[in-house]
Amino acid sequence: MPPDNNTPAATDAPLLPIHRQPGFLSFLLSRLAAVFAMQIQAIVVAWQVYDITRDAMSLAYVGLAQFLPMVILLLPAGDVVDRFPRKRILQLSWAVQGICSALLLLLAQANHGSVIEFYVVLALFGCARAFTGPTLQSMLPNIVPRAQLAQAIALNSSIMKVAVISGPLLGGVLYSVGGGSLAYAVCLGCFIVALALLMLVPVRYVEKAKVLESTAWKRFSAGIRYIRYQPIILGAISLDLFAVLLGGVVALLPIYAQEVLHVGPEGLGALRSAIAVGALLMGLYLGVRGIKRRAGHVMFAAVAVFGLANLVFAFSTLFWVSMIAMLVAGAADMISVYVRTTVIQLATPDEMRGRVNAVNMLFIGSSNELGEFRAGSMAAGFGVVPAAVIGGVGTLAVVGLWMRLFPTLRQVDRFDDAR
């Protein structure tokens, strides 16, 4: 991959504290602004579309319009990320998403009764997001030294939780004050801020470009082969896929809030926030202390704790117990994300990161979507409590099986061993 033209590649810069590494704070703040825009827009566009149609299926189409283009384009996007300057790709992706916010602003001001135009804009938004995910994942190792990558990943993940927690709340407030026009204007402003801050980020740690395969298919298949024959990467990616696919209970929270815990919409919001708060607190801790040894064992233990916390939630009829379970599940998931992401980044050569991260993003998106379908369909067939119990037990079974199937991943001690 060719280096960014603005700055030369660097490999031996002095090891400064992470917050003083050139460009890291700008990168963090630019991503925070973009995530705020996405979170605000997600809640506002869903509310506005439902307000127009009063049809629950319209909300399904809102998600589908964004999800399908993103899934279709993720793997080609990974190839693009490995061939062209990543900073430029991210700038173009955020610029297109900002244009989508501007188009939604125009649609909100037009105030007509059709939602087809909203779906078209959201499909374009999904296309742009397909390039955002692999680029962000691949770009961070180009900004900070290898020795500080784990710390940077932890801080990056935890700070993003701030937007995930507060973005929807801010979106609701903006919509209630000024309608969709004000909310989309703020989203557009956030993307402009993100682009401005990204200009300040130097790309300093880029490995020497290598000659890539001649055709797109050969490049794509090379990425798949690399993952297949690297047990550390294959094990880390597939562990997340099956653990979330089986163990996630987020889709069941509305049913638990109404029928098991009897807490209403406020309690539902608290349960959703508890997951994010647990992840935020653990991410901040990992950003300061980190994991120095036995990283593989820690990751498997964290996924097991995630499954156990979901089991406690499944059987709980007390709101405070359920809150603690969700808090612990969020914290355990953050540990797993921290170790897994760091291992994948360190085990992947720079010229392959775009394709590997695209596959990883595809697995994450699929596990979330299919996990919600699994939980909902099991709840419909067996009841909500059995569905949650089956998921928790399934997660523990996956941990035991993956520890046997991927001993190399289990035996990772220090992060640098991932190479």
- Which of 159, 178, 203 is the last residue before a domain boundary? 203
What is the residue range of 331's domain?
216-418
Do 178 and 290 belong together in one domain?
no
Greater pLDDT, 394 or 384: 394
Do 387 and 360 belong together in one domain?
yes
Alpha carbon distance 118, 51 (integer Å): 13
Mean pLDDT along residues 407-415: 85
Q: What is the pLDDT of residues 89-131, one digit of tens each?
A: 999 999 999 999 999 999 988 876 678 999 999 999 999 998 9
Greater pLDDT, 365 or 414: 414
Q: Give the range among 49-53, 111-115, 326-330, 358-362 with minimum mean pLDDT.
A: 111-115
Of 73-77, 79-83, 355-359, 393-397, give the range with the top mean pLDDT: 393-397
What is the model's pLDDT at position 44? 84
Do 279 and 150 belong together in one domain?
no
Mean pLDDT along residues 213-236: 77
Greater pLDDT, 281 or 189: 189
Asked, for residue 5, whether it belongs to a domain, the answer is no
What is the model's pLDDT at position 290? 76
Q: Is the distance from CB of 194 to CB of 33 less than 8 angstroms?
A: yes
Do 62 and 194 belong together in one domain?
yes
Q: What is the pLDDT of residues 15-40, one digit of tens each?
A: 677 777 888 899 999 999 999 999 88
Task: Give the rounded percent of residues in the chain with a pLDDT score beyond 70.
Answer: 88
Work out how many domains the chain is built from and give that number.
Answer: 2
Asked, for residue 4, whether it belongs to a domain, the answer is no
Do 305 and 336 belong together in one domain?
yes
Q: Give the range among 5-14, 204-213, 299-308 with minimum mean pLDDT.
A: 5-14
The residue type found at 400 is G
Alpha carbon distance 206, 203 (integer Å): 7
Among 77, 123, 84, 157, smallest CA distance to 357 is for: 77
Do 194 and 82 belong together in one domain?
yes
Q: Is the distance from CB of 125 to CB of 73 less than 8 angstroms?
A: no
What does the block give as tokens for 398? Answer: 């996956």
Do 166 and 221 belong together in one domain?
no
Alpha carbon distance 104, 100 (integer Å): 6
Among 319, 349, 341, smallest CA distance to 209 is for: 349
- Which of 170, 203, 236 is the last residue before a domain boundary? 203
Asked, for residue 237, whether it belongs to a domain, the answer is yes
Do 255 and 333 belong together in one domain?
yes
pTM score, whole prediction: 0.74
Do 157 and 249 belong together in one domain?
no
What does the block give as tokens for 355? Answer: 């394709």
What is the model's pLDDT at position 214? 61
Asked, for residue 60, whether it belongs to a domain, the answer is yes
- Which of 174, 203, 232 is the last residue before a domain boundary? 203
Do 264 and 406 belong together in one domain?
yes
Burial of 374 (0-12, 13-18, 19+ CB in 10 A): buried
Do 225 and 193 belong together in one domain?
no
First to last CA, the chain: 20
Greater pLDDT, 290 or 109: 109
What is the model's pLDDT at position 275? 84
4: pLDDT confidence band, cut at 50, 70 and 90? very low
The yes-or-no verdict on residue 254 having pLDDT over 80 is no
Alpha carbon distance 297, 412 (integer Å): 8
Q: What is the pLDDT of residues 269-288, one digit of tens each?
A: 678 778 888 888 888 888 77
Asked, for residue 354, whether it belongs to a domain, the answer is yes
Asked, for residue 8, whether it belongs to a domain, the answer is no
Q: What is the pLDDT of residues 65-93, one digit of tens each?
A: 888 888 888 888 888 888 888 899 999 99
Burial of 11 (0-12, 13-18, 19+ CB in 10 A): exposed
What is the model's pLDDT at position 30? 95
Among 88, 92, 91, smallest CA distance to 6 is for: 88
CATH number at residue 83: 1.20.1250.20
The yes-or-no verdict on residue 220 having pLDDT over 60 is yes
Asked, for residue 90, whether it belongs to a domain, the answer is yes
The yes-or-no verdict on residue 2 having pLDDT over 70 is no
Q: What is the pLDDT of residues 133-151, one digit of tens each?
A: 889 888 888 888 888 888 8
Asked, for residue 1, whether it belongs to a domain, the answer is no
Do 253 and 374 belong together in one domain?
yes
170: pLDDT confidence band, cut at 50, 70 and 90? confident
Query: What average pLDDT does the chain have?
Result: 82
